Amino acid sequence: MSITHLQSFVAVAEEGHVGRAALRLHITQPPLSRHILALEDELGTPLFERVPKGMRLLPTGEALLQHARRILEEVEVAARTVREAAGASRPPPA
């Protein structure tokens, strides 16, 4: 379970469509599809139902979505916090 895979998962969950999510992430469909398959394989359960229009979240996927969003948010906050801590202790470059 990598951060990249979680980003991919959230994008597909929100778009309901691998193709559109791929455009949004600036990658092509196959690697993105593989990210989802890898997550499903790792967790041992499908996360989406494949419907003619695209991808629809299953209950397992709904559960993951909440955690994934929180994790990605935490990562953002962590990076920002460290940079702020660095800026606070380091004298301004002027």
Partner DNA sequence: CACGGTTACGGGGAACGTAAATATC
Partner DNA sequence: GATATTTACGTTCCCCGTAACCGTG
Q: Which residues bind a second copy (CB under 8 A)?
A: 1-4, 42-45, 47, 59-60, 63-64, 67-68, 70-71, 74-75, 77-79, 81-83, 85-86, 89-90
Minimal distance, residue 12 CB to a second copy, in Å: 15
Residues that contact DNA, how many (by CB under 7 A): 21
Tokens matching residue 66: 């909440």
The answer for residues whose C-beta is within 8 angstroms of residue 49's C-beta and 6 or more apart is 55, 56, 57, 58
Secondary structure (3-state) at 45 = coil
Partner that binds at residue 24, options a second copy, DNA, none, CB closer than 5 to 8 Å by kind: none
Query: From a second copy, DNA, none, which one binds at residue 7 (CB under 5 to 8 Å depending on kind)?
Result: none
